[in-house]
């Protein structure tokens, strides 16, 4: 039979030794081994439980939640800014129709709108290119014509990509049907006004009074787009920035008259060579 001391030691062995009998020196050594194992196992279990909070699945869930939260905040901010844009554009459309608050000056505003259209500018530029005498003036008119064509191309590309509809209060009159684009972003009149204004100020205008007149014209053309409810405020603002950058591009790609003559002679030579080769064939 086991002594009371052995029974006491066997009871102190902990949960891992319940239901086992220990006796003598062997029992004491087994008890010490069990205690040592339990002492080494506990920190390991604690570490594993603490590390379970940083499992890969939990990290992925935290990252996806933060991305969804940032995306929702961005969407809410964007919708808020678009709502302000629509409200402000509606307030500025004071000449959208004859019944508008400033409907009486609508014909005058439409005249300002027509002055910024690409058709009058192209016709005037081509006429000036044919009428000027000096090579320097011809070079300036040539680059202005190329700048207008570049403006039409870039605005068309951006409008086709964005496809933003015009404001709902825009009235489809005769001018809007044949001379105004169907899409709204960006404003082609705003891009053209700023680009032509920078071009004139840098190449043709040299007096302070004419500078003020050119800047005032560009501002009125841009404002007419809002007063007639043709565009939103963001359309005009982006158009102004785009037109400013377009003239910087025109300056970098400036075509000299000599370079243009070389290109024309090269094209003419290729045409003559091709026609001569065709005439030699039996």
Task: Report which of residues 170 and 155 the model is more confident about.
Answer: 155
Cis before 186 (ω within 30)? yes
Task: Report which of residues 179 and 252 the model is more confident about.
Answer: 252
pTM exceeds 0.75: no
- Provide the pLDDT confidence category of residue 156 given band limits of 50, 70 and 90: very high
Is residue 27 a part of any domain in this protein?
Answer: no
Instruction: Indicate the helix (H) or strand (E) that contains 155.
Output: helix 135-162
For residue 42, which phi and psi values (nearest 5 degrees)?
A: -65, -50
Range of the domain at 112: 104-270
What residues contact residue 20 under an 8 Å CB cut-off, 6+ apart? 10, 13
For residue 279, pLDDT beyond 70? no
Angle formed at CA 135 by CA 129 and CA 138, multiple of 5 degrees = 20
Task: Report which of residues 275 and 251 the model is more confident about.
Answer: 251
pLDDT for the residue 36: 53
Q: For 175-192, what is the mean pLDDT?
A: 75
- Provide the pLDDT confidence category of residue 277 given band limits of 50, 70 and 90: low
- Provide the pLDDT confidence category of residue 31 given band limits of 50, 70 and 90: low
Is residue 130 a part of any domain in this protein?
Answer: yes
For residue 196, pLDDT beyond 70? yes
pLDDT for the residue 17: 42
Task: Report which of residues 139 and 172 the model is more confident about.
Answer: 139
Among 115, 123, 114, smallest CA distance to 141 is for: 123
Assess contact for 244 and 192: CB atoms under 8 A: no
- Provide the pLDDT confidence category of residue 16 given band limits of 50, 70 and 90: very low
Would you name the residues annotated as active-site residues? 189, 231
Q: For 247-262, what is the mean pLDDT?
A: 83
Q: What is d(CA 167, CA 52) in angstroms, rounded to the nearest whole number? A: 56
Is residue 205 a part of any domain in this protein?
Answer: yes
pLDDT digits (tens, 9 = 90+) for 63-109: 676 777 777 888 888 888 888 988 988 888 888 888 888 888 988 99
For residue 7, pLDDT beyond 60? no
Is residue 221 a part of any domain in this protein?
Answer: yes
pLDDT for the residue 27: 54
Assess contact for 144 and 199: CB atoms under 8 A: yes
Is residue 99 a part of any domain in this protein?
Answer: no
Is residue 276 a part of any domain in this protein?
Answer: no
| Pick from 23-32, 132-141, 219-228: least confident | 23-32
Is residue 79 a part of any domain in this protein?
Answer: no
pLDDT for the residue 244: 94
Dihedral sign for Cα atoms in the order 13, 16, 22, 24: negative
What residues contact residue 73 under an 8 Å CB cut-off, 6+ apart? none
pLDDT digits (tens, 9 = 90+) for 197-209: 999 999 888 889 9
Q: How many domains does the chain have?
A: 1
pLDDT for the residue 49: 44
For residue 164, pLDDT beyond 70? yes
The 8-class DSSP code of residue 164 comes to P
Is residue 22 a part of any domain in this protein?
Answer: no
């Amino acid at each position: 039979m086991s002594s009371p001391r052995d029974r006491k030691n066997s009871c102190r062995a902990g949960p891992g030794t319940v239901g086992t009998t220990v006796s003598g020196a062997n029992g004491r050594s087994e008890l010490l081994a069990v205690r040592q194992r339990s002492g080494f196992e506990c920190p390991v279990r604690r570490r594993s439980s603490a590390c379970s909070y940083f499992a890969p699945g939990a990290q992925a869930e935290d990252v996806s939640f933060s991305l969804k939260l940032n995306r929702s905040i961005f969407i809410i901010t964007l919708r808020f800014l678009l709502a302000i844009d629509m409200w402000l554009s509606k307030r500025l459309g004071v000449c959208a129709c004859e019944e508008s608050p400033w409907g009486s000056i609508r014909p005058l505003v439409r005249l300002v709108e027509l002055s910024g259209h690409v058709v009058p500018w192209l016709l005037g530029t081509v006429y000036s290119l044919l009428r000027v005498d000096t090579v320097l003036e011809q070079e300036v008119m040539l680059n202005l014509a190329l700048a207008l064509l570049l403006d039409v191309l870039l605005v068309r590309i951006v409008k086709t990509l964005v496809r933003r509809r015009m404001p709902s209060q825009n009235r489809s009159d005769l001018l809007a049907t044949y001379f105004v684009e169907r899409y709204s972003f960006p404003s082609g009149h705003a891009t053209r006004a700023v680009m032509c204004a920078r071009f004139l100020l840098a190449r043709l205008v040299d007096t302070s009074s004419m500078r003020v007149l050119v800047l005032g014209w560009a501002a009125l053309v841009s404002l007419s787009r809002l007063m007639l409810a043709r565009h939103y405020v963001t359309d005009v603002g982006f158009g102004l920035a785009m037109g400013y950058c377009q003239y910087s591009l025109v300056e970098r790609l400036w075509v000299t008259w000599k370079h243009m003559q070389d290109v024309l002679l090269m094209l003419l030579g290729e045409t003559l060579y091709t026609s001569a080769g065709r005439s030699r064939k039996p």
